[in-house]
Amino acid sequence: MTKHLVLTRIGLGVFNQDWHEQMFGLFEAVTFPSMKSQLSQDFIWLIVIDVGMPGAVRRKLESLIKPHGNFHLVTTDVTNMRHMRLGTHDWIYLPCQDYVLSNRLIEDVRDYIVTSIIDADDAWNKSYVSVANKYFSRRKDGLAGSEAGRGSHVQHSAGHVLTFSRGLMWYLSINAVKPMKIPYFSTAVSVMARFSSGISAWSSRHAAWAAAAELPMFTTEEVVTKAPMYAYMRHDRSAMGWSSDNAKPMSDEMTEKAAAVFCIDLPKLQAWRRTYLVDQSGSPRITRHQGRNSRAQYNRLFHLSALNLQIDQLSKAVGGRNPDKSAMDDMAKLLEQKTSERKALLALIHAEGDAFYSGARPSR
């Protein structure tokens, strides 16, 4: 049976207590019930969290998923990463691979597997997993059989990228929706490849998958379903900007039908809206949002990752034997300099990251 890994990240590089509390509430109301209620539970959900997640929120998350044997928390430390690659989230998939292997969730590393992405504030159509699994089960043998005819650089694994393009954009502040038809959208991409290929649905920024698939010579297909396959939630903690202009307000009946399609816990979602998105009269606090631009924090994480690698190599060199005392002294000075640089950058990541996610803008 083909393993299906569903990949989700929550607050990596975010250290703000209020942000995590708010986003946990949305996760609990939207994403968690959507996954819990998938018609097929033939998947492994890997929820990647940071070691810096506030303890109270982590305990809530652990308690929430504990009854579900196919739901797992994967912990990583973004401040100790040594390799990040631009244009992908492979650096998040690496701890997932470690977790999968150490917990024997996959035993043959050459198995073909499916990976899919769902963001921690979005929802899937309740049939998403079953439809995707059926789709890939019909293609697995053909992919494996095509390997012999592939070139040496791509011979190890064939692969296929699937995208469901129909979804809904749901504006939570005004409870309104817009239809979406976007191929390779972040929360509706699934990829089949050998586990040992290292390729997952996180191996490309989502909008570029059509081009990214050309590098390993994977096939691609856009599937347009009658029903929307995902609900993309818009709110004031979103990284991307949005405007609810031309969105269609939903009646109570429409809201209940939409919640049923995506298995959203509507009472919890309504309570979350009242807490964070509407005032005492019930009026929305926001109808458009400029987005919380995370590029400054990402820049710092890339910088830190390279510093970690540099410091590691300098430490090995300084700790080794080198007959050239002058060269050794120079490396020791550089190591001291880079260690100080790392300490200052780490403080900035925590301090300004906290301010940024609480609503303030980073100074640089």
Say yes or no to pLDDT of 189 above 80.
Answer: yes
pLDDT of residue 362: 38
Question: How sure is the predictor about 360, in pLDDT bands with cuts at 50, 70 and 90?
Answer: very low
DSSP count for the chain of H helices, then E strands: 11, 14
What is d(CA 282, CA 273) in angstroms, rounded to the nearest whole number? 9
- Give the pLDDT confidence of 257-289 residue by residue, as tens digits: 999 999 999 999 999 999 998 887 778 888 888
What is d(CA 286, CA 279) in angstroms, rounded to the nearest whole number? 10
pLDDT of residue 264: 98
- Helix 325-357 vs helix 295-319: angle between axes, to the nearest 10 degrees? 160
What is d(CA 50, CA 74) in angstroms, rounded to the nearest whole number? 8
Question: How sure is the predictor about 82, in pLDDT bands with cuts at 50, 70 and 90?
Answer: very high
- Give the pLDDT confidence of 209-245 residue by residue, as tens digits: 999 999 999 999 999 999 999 999 999 877 778 888 9
Residue pair 54/98 in contact (Cβ under 8 Å)? The answer is no
Across the range 180-199, mean pLDDT stands at 95
Sheet holding 3-10: strands in order across?
71-76, 44-50, 3-10, 112-117, 189-194, 159-164, 219-223
Say yes or no to pLDDT of 355 above 70.
Answer: no
118 class by beta-carbon count within 10 Å (0-12 exposed, 13-18 middle, 19+ buried): buried
Say yes or no to pLDDT of 296 above 50.
Answer: yes
- Give the pLDDT confidence of 156-174 residue by residue, as tens digits: 999 999 999 999 999 999 9
Strands 176-181 and 248-249: antiparallel
Range from 73-87, 198-212, 256-270, 343-357 carrying the lowest mean pLDDT: 343-357
pTM of the model: 0.93
pLDDT of residue 292: 66
- Give the pLDDT confidence of 20-57 residue by residue, as tens digits: 999 999 999 999 999 999 999 999 999 999 999 999 99
Q: Quickly tell me which residue has 């043959």 as its tokens.
A: 108
| Among 108, 100, 49, residue whose Cα is nearest residue 78 | 49
Question: How sure is the predictor about 293, in pLDDT bands with cuts at 50, 70 and 90?
Answer: low
pLDDT of residue 352: 63
pLDDT of residue 239: 75
Say yes or no to pLDDT of 290 above 80.
Answer: no
